[in-house]
């Protein structure tokens, strides 16, 4: 069974560095990393892209262990995202049969875009849009070079670009503190790596990957708007792919895309960018809840529905009367 970076020991260390309470357990054919999250109505356990289980029976055992842990910790429910278990043609029926109910919102993306790194390099390049392929092969002629870094301090390069993107676009990046902790815990553990594009020695784009032995995740990236016509971010991604292939990884995860039939989705533009490198779509079952205290779980769901109803109405009222 192949587990996500979000279910790894390195991720547990990262979350603990942020002050989170993290639990790790395993049994016959299953394992999980669970984070104790707090809300105004109480707390819950969250297993990001987990638990990991070899089959449905093992998933049931993992859920039993999670329920017991939740009771011991006073958590009202467990939120799970079982992406690594084969659930068959009707995953909704399988998960419902295990006592799970669909969460009101998916925490992690339920659609992602993968690229097979077991192909040879020529096949990987052939699957890309011609623009991406040609940029990778020829951008060096414009003075652009590419480097990778395992120095956590170099996260400052990416942070600078992310600040610029946040200011000029409707985009909210992870906090500096979050990404700094990610670099300082994951990079030394071999679970993350920085990639930097430079023009005549000056950084113009950067990206941070999250890595497991099998998978590289395209996690965070940004570029200098001054040199946007160079499109350095495109060959930067290809370099990340080839580096992962040479390291023996089997797949490159673009980490979240919007549905192709939703052109107005807020991720639509970036999703087109991700799909331009070739690959295939992977659909996950999304986030599901295992109620432990059913009364409080119901109260949480009601409070969220009221909030989701009130916020658009408030926005509409403010728009009607002006700023």
Instruction: Report pLDDT digits (tens) over 23-44.
Output: 999 999 999 999 999 988 889 9
pLDDT at 68: 98
pLDDT at 37: 97
pLDDT at 72: 98
Domain stop point among 228, 249, 270: 249
Please say if the pLDDT value at position 67 is more than 70. yes
Please say if the pLDDT value at position 106 is more than 50. yes
Task: Indicate whether 104 and 131 sit together in one domain.
Answer: no
- 189 lies in some domain: yes
pLDDT at 293: 87
Task: Indicate whether 210 and 102 sit together in one domain.
Answer: no
Per-residue confidence at 300, pLDDT binned at 50, 70, 90? confident
CA angle 317, 320, 323 (to 5 degrees): 90
pLDDT at 319: 33
Domain stop point among 222, 249, 276: 249
- 276 lies in some domain: no
**Residue 203 CB: number of other CB atoms within 10 A?**
19
pLDDT at 174: 87
Strand runs labelled E in 128-170: 144-149
Task: Indicate whether 89 and 190 sit together in one domain.
Answer: no
**CATH code for the domain of 185:** 3.40.630.30
Average pLDDT over residues 115-137: 96
Per-residue confidence at 309, pLDDT binned at 50, 70, 90? low
**Residue 90 CB: number of other CB atoms within 10 A?**
10
Percent of the chain with pLDDT over 90: 83
- Among 176, 231, 239, CA closest to 207: 239
Please say if the pLDDT value at position 251 is more than 80. yes
Task: Indicate whether 241 and 127 sit together in one domain.
Answer: yes
Strand runs labelled E in 137-260: 144-149, 192-199, 202-211, 215-223, 251-253
Please say if the pLDDT value at position 318 is more than 60. no
Task: Indicate whether 30 and 140 sit together in one domain.
Answer: no
Kindly report which listed range (70-74, 189-193, 230-234, 318-322) carries the lowest average pLDDT score. Answer: 318-322
Averaged confidence pLDDT in the chain: 92
- 315 lies in some domain: yes
- Structural domains in the chain (count): 2
- 11 lies in some domain: yes
Q: Could you list the residue range(s) of the whole structural domain that residue 238 is in?
A: 118-249
pLDDT at 46: 98
CB 164 within 8 A of CB 225: yes
Task: Indicate whether 155 and 222 sit together in one domain.
Answer: yes
Task: Indicate whether 123 and 241 sit together in one domain.
Answer: yes
Task: Indicate whether 142 and 99 sit together in one domain.
Answer: no
pLDDT at 3: 86
Please say if the pLDDT value at position 273 is more than 80. yes
DSSP 8-state assignment for residue 4:
P
Average pLDDT over residues 273-291: 96
pLDDT at 313: 46
- 272 lies in some domain: no
- Among 19, 3, 4, 46, CA closest to 185: 19
Task: Indicate whether 187 and 130 sit together in one domain.
Answer: yes
Per-residue confidence at 311, pLDDT binned at 50, 70, 90? very low
Per-residue confidence at 310, pLDDT binned at 50, 70, 90? low
- 200 lies in some domain: yes
Q: Which residues contact 131 (CB under 8 A, 6 or more apart)?
A: 231, 234, 276
Backbone φ and ψ for 7, nearest 5 degrees, come out as: -115, 20
pLDDT at 1: 58
Per-residue confidence at 308, pLDDT binned at 50, 70, 90? low
**Radius of gyration over alpha carbons of the chain, in Å?**
21
CA distance 252 to 242: 10
Task: Indicate whether 78 and 38 sit together in one domain.
Answer: yes
Our measurement of the distance from residue 233's CA atom to the centroid of its chain's CA atoms, rounded to an integer in Å, reads 19
Percent of the chain with pLDDT over 70: 93
Task: Indicate whether 221 and 199 sit together in one domain.
Answer: yes
CA-to-CA dists, residue 99 to 36, 138, 288, 305, angstroms: 21, 55, 10, 22
Task: Indicate whether 200 and 237 sit together in one domain.
Answer: yes
- 268 lies in some domain: no
Domain stop point among 249, 271, 302: 249
- 131 lies in some domain: yes
Please say if the pLDDT value at position 305 is more than 90. no
């Amino acid at each position: 069974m192949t587990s996500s970076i979000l279910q790894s020991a390195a991720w547990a260390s990262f979350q603990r560095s942020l002050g989170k309470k993290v639990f790790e357990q395993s049994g016959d054919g299953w394992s999980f990393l669970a984070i104790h999250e707090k809300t105004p109505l109480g707390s819950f356990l969250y297993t990001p892209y987990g638990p990991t289980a070899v089959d449905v029976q093992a998933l049931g055992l993992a859920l039993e262990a999670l329920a017991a842990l939740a009771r011991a910790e006073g958590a009202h429910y467990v939120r799970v995202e079982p992406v690594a278990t084969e659930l068959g043609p009707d995953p909704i029926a399988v998960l419902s049969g295990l006592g799970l109910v669909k969460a009101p919102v998916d925490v992690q993306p339920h659609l992602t875009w993968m690229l097979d790194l077991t192909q040879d390099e020529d096949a990987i390049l052939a699957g890309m849009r011609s623009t991406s392929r040609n940029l990778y092969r020829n951008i060096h002629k414009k003075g652009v070079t590419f480097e990778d870094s395992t120095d956590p301090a170099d996260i400052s390069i990416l942070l600078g670009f992310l600040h610029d993107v946040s200011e000029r676009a409707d985009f909210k990046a992870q906090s500096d503190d979050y990404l700094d902790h990610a670099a300082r815990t994951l990079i030394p553990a071999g679970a993350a790596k920085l990639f930097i594009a430079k023009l005549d020695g000056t950084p113009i784009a950067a990206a941070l990957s999250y890595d497991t032995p099998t998978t590289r995740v395209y996690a965070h990236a940004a570029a200098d708007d001054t040199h946007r016509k160079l499109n350095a971010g495109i060959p930067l991604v290809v370099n990340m792919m080839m580096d992962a292939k040479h390291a023996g990884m089997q797949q490159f995860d673009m980490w979240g895309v919007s549905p192709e039939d939703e052109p107005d989705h807020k991720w639509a533009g970036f999703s087109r960018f991700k799909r331009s490198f070739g690959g295939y779509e992977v659909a996950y079952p999304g986030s599901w809840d295992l109620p432990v205290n059913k009364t409080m779980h119901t109260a949480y769901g009601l409070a969220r529905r009221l909030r989701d109803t009130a916020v658009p109405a408030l926005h509409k009222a403010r728009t009607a009367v002006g700023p």
